[in-house]
Structure 1
Amino acid sequence: MPRYYFRIAHGSYSGTSDVAFDLQDDDEAWKEMTRVCADLVSGITRALKPDSDWQMELLDDNKKALFRIRLLAEKV
């Protein structure tokens, strides 16, 4: 079963999870990523400042990015 990791980046912070997730395939990994992101998004948006961004990446077992969800706050 394939293994996946999450990496979160916000400003100068970037961190990759130490714990791998065993999921059936990339489609199931995408679904899990969107569930986790949905759980985090309210707290993230409350702390997001103008002209900043937050992103979550789903990595494969070799820590290569497969998917990215990005929140971008812009002052226009």
Structure 2
Amino acid sequence: MSLYFFRISHGRYSGASDQPSEFESREAAWAEMTRVCANLVGSISRSLKQNAEWHMELLDESSKPVFRIRLVSESLG
């Protein structure tokens, strides 16, 4: 079992969870990350400004990113 931390960044805000989550594999950690992200994306996309980025990362025990999911809005003209 490995310990992981979630970190969310949006503009100048960035915050990581204080409590680790324990998963038996990277695949299990990825599955949980996508589930959590799916629950958040609707509300985040409704308040996302133009040319902004929101992302969620899963960090390993040494705080290195393992996975990242990004939501980016771009003004194209």
User: Is 1:44 matched up with 2:44?
Assistant: yes
Q: Structure 1-normalised TM-score?
A: 0.97
Cα distance in structure 2, aligned partners of 1:68 and 1:22: 18
1:1-76 alignment runs, 5 A limit:
1-76=1-76
Unpaired stretches in structure 2, ≥5 consecutive residues: none
- Superposition CA RMSD, Å: 0.5
**% identity of equivalent residues:** 53
Structure 1 gaps, min length 5: none
> What is the DSSP-based 3-state SS (H/G/I as helix, E as strand, rest coil) of the residue aligned with 2:63?
coil
Number of matched residues?
76
CA distance in 2: counterparts of 1:60 and 1:28, whole angstroms? 13
Post-superposition shift, 1:12? 0.2
Question: SS state of the match for residue 50, structure 1?
Answer: coil
CA positional deviation for 1:62: 1.0
Structure-1 separation of matches of 2:59 and 2:26? 10
| Structure 1 consecutive aligned stretches of length 4 or more whose deviation exceeds 6 Å | none
